[in-house]
Structure formats: C-alpha cells, structure tokens
C-alpha cells in the first residue's frame, strides 16, 4: 500500500495534507491513536496505525490504491 500511496517514502510530507508512507490525514492519524505527524514516526509505527485503520474502515481508507491493487 505504501508503495502505491507514497512511493514507499515513509517520511514524505508534500504539503498536500497527507503524511507518511500511508498518506494519513492528520485527523485520521489522531483517530487511530497517533500523535504528532505521521511522517515523523518510523515505518513500523505507521504500519501499526495503518492496520488499526484498516480494521476499522477496511481497504476503503485508501480508495485509489486499494482498487488499483485489487484489494476491494
């Protein structure tokens, strides 16, 4: 998923309002327990919170990439 979302760059912050390898919106990051900005945390932390988000919302949390990757 991260390869599709961010080119696998876990520290990405392009200024588009989405952060890190899984391109979290800040409000979404906070809703799954994150603090600070996602791109400031290691990949393992982003993955853990990504798993929490996926469990809550399904693959639709990443609509474009999940469809592109055949996950939904």
Give yes or no for a contact between 72 and 60, defined as CB atoms under 8 angstroms apart: yes
Interval 13-71: pLDDT, tens: 999 999 999 999 999 999 999 999 999 999 999 999 999 999 999 999 999 999 999 99
Distance CA(68)–CA(48), nearest Å, equals 22
d(CA 34, CA 49): 7
Q: Give me the pLDDT at residue 8, please.
A: 98
Domain range list for the chain: 2-68
Answer whether residue 72 shows pLDDT above 90: no
The CATH T-level fold of domain 2-68 is Lysozyme (1.10.530)
């Amino acid at each position: 998923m991260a390869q599709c979302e961010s080119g696998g760059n876990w520290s990405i912050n392009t200024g588009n309002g989405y952060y890190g390898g899984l391109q979290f919106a800040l409000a979404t990051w906070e809703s799954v327990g994150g603090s600070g900005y996602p791109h400031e945390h290691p990949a393992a932390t982003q993955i853990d919170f990504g798993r929490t988000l996926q469990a809550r919302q399904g693959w639709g949390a990443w609509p474009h990439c999940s469809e592109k990757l055949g996950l939904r």
